[in-house]
Structure 1
Amino acid sequence: MQSLEQRQATDWEFVEVWTDATSRVPYLLVLVADREGYKIYDPKEDYRQVFAAPTYEEAKLWLAEDEYERVDGRLTDT
């Protein structure tokens, strides 16, 4: 089984940070694109996966339903 660092190096395509703009205290979720699809992780819950989708659009819609907005920028390996 690969470690998190190994999976990041070989499988991750990009990472985006999303924030709940309606909350007084900023709440962040992390969207990771990898070879298997798109996964959303919650840093406050020890990076537990909270959602997975086969397409970016589905992941975006799930985040938008809860009024999350993408923080400008995207982390990639390039």
Structure 2
Amino acid sequence: MQFHAPVLEEQAKLWKYLELWVDPVLFPPKILMLVGDQDGTCRIFNPASDYKLVVTHPSYENAQAWLLEDEYERVKGPLLAEEVF
């Protein structure tokens, strides 16, 4: 998989799945990317800002609650790493 963002190769090997979340109220919609790591940690990146790390959560439930609090909606179910490679 080729990354178009300054992501360290070591970090890229840690992810298990990713999800895209969108704020449908804004136009153009604001998109965030949730990356779930092998250890259960979830990181949220902003693709529009060179994939800047927005926040890290210890679990999916915490990350999902944070996104839902700001009224983001999940665009697509998880994209599993094994489906990409």
Q: Shorter-chain-normalised TM-score: which range?
A: 0.7 to 0.9
Q: Identity, % of aligned pairs? A: 41
Q: Could you list the runs of 4 or more consecutive aligned residues of structure 1 that deviate by over 3 angstroms after TM superposition?
A: none
Secondary structure of the residue that 2:67 maps to in structure 1?
A: helix
Q: What CA distance in whole angstroms lies between the structure 2 residues aligned with 1:38 and 1:73?
A: 15
Counterpart among 59, 62, 65 of residue 61 in structure 1: 65
Gaps of 5+ in 1: none
Match of 1:21 in 2: 24
Match of 2:3 in 1: none
Q: What CA distance in whole angstroms lies between the structure 2 residues aligned with 1:71 and 1:4?
A: 25
1:4 CA drift (Å)? 2.5
Output the amino acid matched with 1:60.
Q
Q: What CA distance in whole angstroms lies between the structure 2 residues aligned with 1:25 and 1:49?
A: 21
Gaps of 5+ in 2: 1-6
Match of 2:46 in 1: 42
1:35 CA drift (Å)? 3.5
TM-score by length of 1: 0.84
Match of 1:11 in 2: 14
TM-score by length of 2: 0.78
Q: What CA distance in whole angstroms lies between the structure 2 residues aligned with 1:58 and 1:43?
A: 21
Secondary structure of the residue that 2:48 maps to in structure 1?
A: helix
Counterpart among 26, 31, 34 of residue 31 in structure 1: 34
The root-mean-square deviation of aligned C-alpha atoms, in Å, is: 1.5
Q: What CA distance in whole angstroms lies between the structure 1 residues aligned with 2:23 and 2:42?
A: 19
